[in-house]
């Protein structure tokens, strides 16, 4: 089973709580990095914390949740080494893992219901990275990240 860091803003809080229960029941080790209520909060620090936990090896995967998942994905992707993918359908969840070796899943709680969110999460976690030509492309992404961070 996987070690998973999870975080959400107020809009994603209820889905986060639901997914924590699903993951825990499935034998995964879950780190809840907040938020801890539906009170309005800012998502960037929470999503960056998820990304840092994955980058630093404290989790195998990360999950970030918000209303649309857009801002959460953007915030997580600011962390070096994170490849966060916004996946609001099964196809994008599978492609994010197979072709991009995504290590953080972003979803919009106002876009997907709990049943679909569970299926997206299961697809993301069980899909291996295909490697091959995609490995070269993921390496190119890391090269761009390194180039930009040195400016």
CATH assignment at residue 108: 3.40.1400.10
Domain with 100, as residue range(s), is: 3-149
pTM of the model: 0.97
**Into how many domains does the chain fold?**
1
Mean predicted lDDT score pLDDT of the chain: 97
pLDDT category of residue 33 using cuts at 50, 70 and 90? very high
Q: What is the pLDDT of residues 48-95, one digit of tens each?
A: 999 999 999 999 999 999 999 999 999 999 999 999 999 999 999 999
Q: What is the DSSP string of the chain?
A: --EEEEEE-GGGHHHHHHHHHHHHHTT-EEEE-S--SSS---SHHHHHHHHHHHHTTS-SEEEEEESSSHHHHHHHHTSTT--EEE-SSHHHHHHHHHTT---EEEEETTTS-HHHHHHHHHHHHHPPP--THHHHHHHHHHHHHHHHHT-
Catalytic residues: 72, 99
- Asked whether the predicted pLDDT for residue 150 surpasses 90, the reply is no
């Amino acid at each position: 089973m996987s070690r998973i860091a999870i975080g959400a803003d107020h809009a994603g809080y209820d889905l986060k709580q639901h997914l924590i229960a699903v993951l825990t029941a499935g034998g995964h080790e879950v780190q809840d990095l907040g938020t801890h209520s539906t009170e309005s909060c800012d998502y960037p620090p929470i999503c960056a914390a998820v990304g840092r936990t994955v980058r630093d090896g404290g989790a195998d995967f990360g999950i970030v949740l918000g209303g649309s998942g857009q801002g959460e994905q953007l915030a997580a992707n600011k962390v070096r080494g994170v490849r966060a993918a916004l996946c609001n359908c099964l196809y994008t969840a599978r492609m994010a893992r197979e072709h991009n070796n995504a290590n953080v899943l972003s979803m919009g709680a106002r876009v997907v219901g709990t049943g679909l969110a569970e299926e997206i999460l299961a697809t993301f976690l069980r899909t291996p990275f295909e490697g091959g030509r995609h490995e070269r492309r993921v390496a190119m992404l890391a090269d761009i990240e390194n180039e930009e961070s040195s400016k």
